[in-house]
Copies of this chain bind each other. A is one copy, B any other.
Amino acid sequence: MNIPRTELPRVVIIGGGFAGMGLARKLLQEDVQMVLIDRNNYHTFQPLLYQVSTAGLEPDSIAYPLRKITRNSKNCFFRNAEVESIDADNQIIHTSIGEIVYDYLVIATGSKTNFFGNKSVESNAMWMKTVPQALNIRSLILENLEQAVIENDPEKRKALLNFVLVGAGPTGVELSGAIAELRNNIVPKDYPDLNPAEMNIHLLEGLDRVLPPMSEKSSEKAQKFLEDLGVKIHLNTMVQSYDGHLVTTNTDLTLKTETLVWSAGVTGAPVKGLNASALIEKANRYEVNAFNQVNGYENIFAIGDIAVMKTEEYPRGHPMVAQPAIQQGRHLAKNLKRIFKGEQLEPFNYFDKGSMATVGRNKAVVDIGKSTFGGFFAWFIWMFVHLWFLIGFRNRLVTFCNWVYNYINFDRAARLIIRPFKSNRENLEADQKKI
C-alpha cells in the first residue's frame, strides 16, 4: 500500500462527502497521518446535482478533485478505492486495492437511495445520488424530447413527454421546477415541432404537503411556485409499481411515462464487518454517541448521513443533509485532536442554520429559525449560500458565470447528450446502480 507507518497516529476516513471533507480539511495541518478513501477521485456537491440533470451546469463545476485537498499536507494520503469490510479486531479495513491499517477509523459513507423494497421501481426508475447518474438523467430527458419529435402516435408521444418525479423533498421539488422551466423556456424555442402542452411534469408525494421537512408556510409557498410553473402535484399519493412504462399508485392515478425519477427516500450505506449492535437496522445507519463514536467501539467514528446521534431535539438523529455532516466532521476533527492530547472529548451540538429549497427563477423558500420567507430574496440567498459552500474558486467562478448567463438568457446551455442513455442503457446501468 506504500503508506509508511510513522510515529503519528493514523486516521483513516472512508468517504469524501460533506462529512469526510469537513473532517479532512481540519486535520490537514495537524500531527496526524490521514488516509482519505473514496470510490471517486472527487467530492460531489450533491445539492446542485439537479442542475447537472437539467442542463444548467457542467458536471465538472460541482465536483472537486479530492487530491486537491490532500495535496496541502505532507501527512495526508488519498486512495481511490472501494471499501469492502472492516476488521475491527485487527484495526484493518479491506478495500479493492488491499488492506489498510488504522488507529482511528471514521466512517463517512453517507446514504443511498431507498426503494423500500419496491423491486419494480428499483429496476426501472432513475435516481440521482452521483454525477454519472445526474448525467444519465440529463441524457434521458433530452433523448425523450428528440424521440417525441419523430413519434407520430400521440399516446407514445405523451408517455415520452410525461416526466414523473416521486418524492417532494428538496430534490423532487428542485428537479420538477427545473424540468418545468425547461418546458416553459427551452422547448418552445428548441422544438418548434413539439406542442409544449403535451409535456407534463408530475410530482408525487406520499404525505400531505411538498417539502415536508420545512415549515408549513414554506410548503404552501413552494406548492404555489410549482403550480405557477405548471407542475402537477399529487399529494397523499404513493407509487405502487412502475414497469418502465406505466406508474400505478395507491389512488386512482395512473401515469404512462418513460421517465420516473425516484427521490422518495434514502437509507444509510454502511460497511460490512462491525457488530450488529452498531447498526440501527431499520435505518441502515450507525448509532453513535455524542462524540460520534460508533456504539461499542472507541476508535471507530461515524459522521454525516451514516450516523444516528439521538438527542432530545432529534430523537431519530439529525436530518440527512449537508449541514449536520459538515458540522460533525469539523467537530470530530477537534475531538480527535483532544484524544491525541489526552484531553476530555466534547459532545457535538448541532447548530441549525435553517433550510432552503429553490423551485426556479426568482422562486425559493427559506426557513431560518422561526422566520420563513420566499420569492426573489429567498432565491438570491439560496444562490449565495450554494456558491459559498461550493468547493474551489474555479467551480464558483464557472457556476456563477453559468447562472448569470442562464438567468439573462432564460437558457440552459448544457443540453448535450454526451453519452446517450437509452441506446446504451445496459452499459450505463453500472453507474446507475451504484449507490
Contacts and interface: CB of A to CB of B under 8 A. Distances in A.
Interface stretch (A164-172, A187-195, A267-275, A344-352): A187-195
Contact of A131 (B67, B98, B394, B418): B418
How many copies of the polypeptide does the oligomer hold?
2
B416 A41 contact: yes
6 contacts: A41-B416, A58-B60, A59-B416, A60-B413, A60-B414, A60-B416
Interface of A: 1-3, 40-42, 58-61, 63, 65, 67-68, 71, 74, 77, 79-80, 97-98, 131-132, 135, 142, 146, 149-150, 152, 189-193, 392-395, 397-398, 401-402, 405, 411, 413-419, 424, 427-428, 430-431
A40 B139 CA distance: 11
Contact of A146 (B41, B98, B397, B428): B41
Contact of A71 (B131, B189, B393): B189
Pairs A-B, 8 closest by C-beta atoms: A427-B427, A67-B190, A58-B58, A58-B60, A80-B146, A394-B413, A60-B414, A42-B416
A417 B40 contact: yes
A413 B58 CA distance: 13
A191 B67 contact: yes
Nearest to A1: B150
A101 to B, nearest CB: 15
B394 A405 contact: yes
A286 B428 CA distance: 36
Given A189-B71, A397-B401, A424-B430, A149 B2 contact: yes
A126 to B, nearest CB: 16
A370 to B, nearest CB: 40
A250 to B, nearest CB: 37
Nearest to A400: B401
Contacts of A394: 401-402, 405, 411, 413
A413 B431 contact: no
A58 to B, nearest CB: 4
A328 B415 CA distance: 28
Nearest to A392: B413
A38 to B, nearest CB: 11
A148 to B, nearest CB: 10
A256 B189 CA distance: 52
A142 to B, nearest CB: 6
